[in-house]
Structure 1
């Protein structure tokens, strides 16, 4: 079987017969008396008014007319001169189609054909449409239809209806759809609904629903889940309900103006005229006009889209994206983010706290931002500079330059060969989000500023994408979900490996090492002393290992696994405090005992947890 990922099958019936995927018999597709075969089509027919037409490419057949090769891309079944079934836009091996059909494996063949993001349209009769996998759109048409979205994020589209559409989604359970007050359809496994021109009442369920009212004075209620509501034309009421919900005005050309009010009603003006009422909405997407979007005390996400927009987060930890146009972004109170991830050209900004800061895109001044603590860049070679606060600067794709300035900053380079300078403060480079951007392996990092480690130059990180980052004034590092190798520096570092089998070496200083999940290794090889005691925050006697360098821990002359006798003589673990010490002379006297680490208390520590290198 060949399946071209991203294929979108289009399924339609005719006007004479209902489509019922529960009773459909695909063996009828090859029930014929005559055939016409070519490299691009195969027609199996009884007469000119009753036949099945397959179309595709590179089709080959044996002497009996059975397919032996090629790809089928469409099928049309004609009964009494009318179209009973038409499916286009797929790509499946002809032999697979034939074998499934002659075996009358209707559900198996439909599941293959309808594995993508498909469009299914019924007949004027009572249809039963099953969409299977993929993010599908189902239109029943007239008649009492049953629409089953199957797996994926599926949409029931009632855009052809003039009477009011009313439905309360129920997940995998049946939900009745009323048109002009009369029950018409039954739907299940439907996440999204598009209404028609009437005064629709669309109510979501506990999933993340997308409800579109279209024309008419609609009432949209998201219920639970992180929902997206678009009223369309008309004076609509949008109630997000529980969850983090979005009012989407991306279809508007006039300026959108709203001040969110939590669970209380907030009026939405379009081109200066009150149009909608919204409540329990956390996020707003504007349209093509000069929008004025103001948040409330919650964590809002405000997107201006096109136009010269004014976005104000007010209280809460907000995310503001201006989109195209010369926008003004004011985070207000809270820890707020200006999001430029939609930009392909270089973004440049030096943040200035509550004072206006200019944002240039491709070297041209575009936005003004203030009271913004965090910046997310785009695909260009961004230059992001923080201020005196604790900033989070994320470069995204591109060879970015990130400068933390004052404050305890977090720098996220993303893909590309990035330069990251923490400035003053206790600053962190964070690689934990690399996997979400397509990375497939861990980082190799050396924070030691004056010497190489294991082939890594000083202050260098080979990131998850294989790029080389240069870092400076960095105290802390967060690894990936893969196997990371991280060397600290001369300061008191905090090193977190994350998920994966990590190798962590704090080097000098009183470091904090956190292996995370996985079989982690912690190395100790620098001079012992009170200023060089590391804390291992999550040491596991089941999964983790401590390596000791025998040039420093000189009582261990042989390399390899530690013996029980050596452990008993030279390793002291205080199960009450977690203090881990080295007894150089094996006597337990004060002069020969030096603490080199702190583990969690109460561990069943043994010689099996140590390796001498």
Structure 2
């Protein structure tokens, strides 16, 4: 004689986290029992006349799905990752569409189902068990075993054991008992199901509740000792008895739903409420809850805990109240179209608007963070002054060429993919360009920011005071760049993975200075703006523009562009600098070149179309490409230097050559040149033009060449040649000097010891 099996749960005993054992030891004549920890499932025994002896379902080592009838109990099992389904076709019970292995069975005679999964990922579907066909069925047991299984129960009262690995269990109608087992499992209640017991056991488990798609649900979540009780209090009421579950995810569906958490849930479960369509009201518990409004004008109240209040594209205008804890309002814009978002203070609250597409408004209170994701499109997201005491901003542009502007607090602004423009505004912000060619801007009055360009060719833009003089410095800081203003209101920018730094001094007599070590880190672009500015580059290829005013520009190392622009500017090359482009533009501009302090330089100057080409052809050669400058001021400094200018420079630039120490040789062009010999024995040839030659110590040879020249030996034993033109020669020095006036009507200041000849008029 076999036994008809009836199962029920003893709710007074048990704990989560243990696998069941079956059968349990039992006293003779007592009903069989299934143990899960200390919780007991009791099977009532009813004798069935004429049935065979009890049989335990065997699972052959290499079979797929096996099934048989044991008395009136239908048994089916798998030894691998097989689907198992039970249906009734033509009044006959079917396992995977076929008769059981023991032969045909009438659906109406089956009193119990026992389903065993294999070690793989089984799909067990009992939704085809129709109570109208299985009229005698009272007991259902499923043990999914190991593997990532999917189990769908019957419309009756089932006991479902998930087993090891990640299972998804949909109990179906009836008062079911689910033991999820090991790993991270999901237990699902759908609208129309009954009141269930859900035991998560080990792993990070989730209970998913899906409300009515048409009607308004009224859901509550409360503590129940160390367990959680979930209720629907309207429509067809039900309750879920939940234990050992980490998260409860509730989807309201249609209607104006209400969700109400309660205090005490924080150590037991995390709540996620999604309202669906309708004007929903969601109240969290005291844990870290997630409230998602979906369509309609929703009210979200986080209560205590670090809550997340979510608006998704297509949702309505919502009220969002974080309440106690550190709460975040998250806004997710259109994935395809450009959003235009604004954030403004509204008294003690925050007003968030989308002003294009489908406009909406969020009324935000008692929330600490606002996270806005632009997603697709060329989005505009803008904060405002006055937000710092109310909320912290985090903007992400997502895909597209986005424009992000922070508020006056410490904001995080991330451009995402695309060529973005990011402005930190007030406060100490993080500007993160991410992928694309981004521009990250600091404006006068902003705070000390962190700036990360990331992938792409990125530019950091700094705009100084419009009225006052800024003092800016740029220095390497390991693999990063440190930018400082050292006067006015000092600040610092910590710059990484950015290719260009564009600094605009604006008004005032600004000082902007780079340094050595910047070349591998960033390229500099300085603009002085209005005022008499001082600009110094780094050791890379920099662009230095003076702007309006009398500016001093030094390229420093690297191949630079020095652009004087309006005003009387001085653009300087120092020994060790690179080959530069020099543009004076409007005003009377000077190009200053300072040679080696110790070695002899060899310089040449030639016309190059409408420009001037200046070269050093020895030591470390370099070249200057000069235009729109009025004077080339060369200081050869130490060593025996040679500076030779070619004819044709008269209408391009005036020359001023200073030999410095050493025995120097200087040759002028056809313009009005100035030569200063220095203390060595120098040789100077003015060539054409009205030149000025000064010996300044040493036994010099001064030849004015053609033109009305001025020659001054400065008191040494010098030799003078006036050349053609009406020259003025000063040979006084109480030493024997030789003066050859040459052609022209020359005037000579000479001593009695001097030898003066050829068309000279001695005037002393």
Give TM class, smaller chain. 0.3 to 0.5
Q: Which has the higher contact order (CA 8 A, sep 6+)?
A: 1
Output the TM-score relative to the length of structure 1: 0.47
Structure index of larger Rg: 2
Bigger share in helix: 1
Output the TM-score relative to the length of structure 2: 0.39
